[in-house]
Amino acid sequence: MSYYPLTSIPDYFGIDALLTEEHKLIRQSIRDWVESFVMPQIDQAAQNHTDIPNLMRELGKVGALGPYIPVEYGGSGLDQISYGLIMQELERGDSAVRSAASVQSSLVMFPINEFGSEEQKKKYLPQLASGEMIGSFGLTEPNHGSDPGSMETYFKDMGDHYLLNGAKMWITNSPLCDIAVVWAKNEDGKVQGLIVERGMEGFTTPETHNKWSLRASKTGELVFNDVKVPKENLLPGVTGLKGPLSCLNSARYGISWGVIGAAIDCYCTAVQYSKERKQFGKPIGSYQLQQKKLAEFLTEITKAQLLCLQLGTLKNDHKATPAQISMAKRNNVKMAIDIARESRQILGGMGIMGEFPMMRHAANLESVITYEGTHDVHLLITGLDITGINAF
Ligand SMILES: Cc1cc2nc3c(=O)[nH]c(=O)nc-3n(C[C@H](O)[C@H](O)[C@H](O)COP(=O)(O)OP(=O)(O)OC[C@H]3O[C@@H](n4cnc5c(N)ncnc54)[C@H](O)[C@@H]3O)c2cc1C
Q: Quick check: CB of 392 below 6 Å from ligand 1?
A: yes
Quick check: is 21 catalytic? no
With contact defined as beta carbons under 8 Å apart, do 342 and 297 qualify? yes
Q: How far apart are CA 263 and CA 10, in angstroms?
A: 11
Q: State the average pLDDT over residues 109-127.
A: 98
Nearest CA to ligand 1 atom 47: 376
**In this structure, how many other beta carbons lie within 10 angstroms of the beta carbon of residue 24?**
12
Work out the average pLDDT over 311-320. Answer: 98
Q: How far away, in angstroms, is 144 Cα from ligand 1 center? A: 8
- Hey, whose CA ends up nearest to atom 50 of ligand 1? 170
| Residue 244 alpha carbon, nearest atom of ligand 1 | 11
Beta strand 203-204 with 219-230 is antiparallel
C-beta 374 within 6 A of ligand 1 = yes
Cα(377) to centroid(ligand 1), Å: 9
Give tens-digit pLDDT for 242-262: 999 999 999 999 999 999 999
Pair 74, 129: CB distance under 8 Å: yes
Give yes or no for a contact between 289 and 258, defined as CB atoms under 8 angstroms apart: no
Residue 329: its pLDDT value, please?
A: 98
Write out pLDDT tens, residues 203-245. 999 999 999 999 999 999 999 999 999 999 999 999 999 999 9
321 C-beta neighbours (distance < 10 Å), count: 13
Which ligand 1 atom is the nearest neighbour of the CA of 147?
Answer: 29
Residue 118 pLDDT class (50, 70, 90 cuts): very high
Ligand 1 center to residue 141 CA distance, Å? 9
Residues 6 or more apart from 285 whose CB is under 8 A from it?
271, 274, 275, 277, 291, 294
Nearest residue (by CA) to ligand 1, atom 17, is 371
Q: Residue 151 in contact with residue 178, Cβ under 8 Å?
A: no
Q: How much is the pLDDT for 275?
A: 98
pLDDT of amino acid 287: 98
Task: Encode burial over 139-158: b for 16+ CB neighbours within 10 A, e otherwise.
Answer: bbbeebbeebeebebbbeee
pLDDT at 172: 98
Dihedral sign, CA of 87, 90, 93, 94? negative
pLDDT in tens, 92-113: 999 999 999 999 999 999 999 9
CA 217 to ligand 1 center in whole angstroms:
17
Is the CB of residue 140 below 6 angstroms from any atom belonging to ligand 1?
Answer: yes
pLDDT tens column, 269-289: 999 999 999 999 999 999 999
Average pLDDT over residues 294-321: 98
Cα gap 179→56, rounded to integer Å: 14
Is ligand 1 within 6 A of the CB of residue 170? Answer: yes
pTM for the full predicted model: 0.98
Separation between Cα atoms, residue 382 and residue 371, nearest integer Å: 17
Could you tell me the pLDDT band of residue 50, with boundaries at 50, 70 and 90?
very high
DSSP state for residue 209 in the 8-state scheme: P
Q: Which atom of ligand 1 is nearest to the CA of 372?
A: 17
Percent of the chain's residues with pLDDT above 70: 100
Identify the residue whose C-alpha is closest to ligand 1 atom 6. 171
Residue 287 Cβ inside 6 Å of ligand 1? The answer reads: no
Report the alpha-carbon distance of residue 116 to residue 111 in Å, rounded. Answer: 7
Cβ of 343 less than 6 Å from ligand 1: no
Ligand 1 pocket: which of 49, 108, 141, 146 to mutate (most atoms within 8 A of CB):
146
CA of 392 to the centre of ligand 1 (A): 14
* Among candidate residues 9, 26, 10, 33, the one with its CA nearest the CA of residue 79: 26
Please tell me if the CB atom of residue 370 comes closer than 6 angstroms to any atom of ligand 1: yes
Nearest CA to ligand 1 atom 31: 146
How many CB atoms neighbour CB 215 within 10 A?
23
Name the active-site residue from 89, 91, 342, 372. 372
pLDDT digits (tens, 9 = 90+) for 163-214: 999 999 999 999 999 999 999 999 999 999 999 999 999 999 999 999 999 9
Q: How many Å lie between the centroid of ligand 1 and the Cα of residue 172? A: 13
Q: Which of 210, 144, 214, 207 is nearest to 177 (CA)?
A: 207
Average pLDDT over all residues of the chain: 98
Cα–Cα distance for residue pair 360/263, rounded to 1 Å:
12
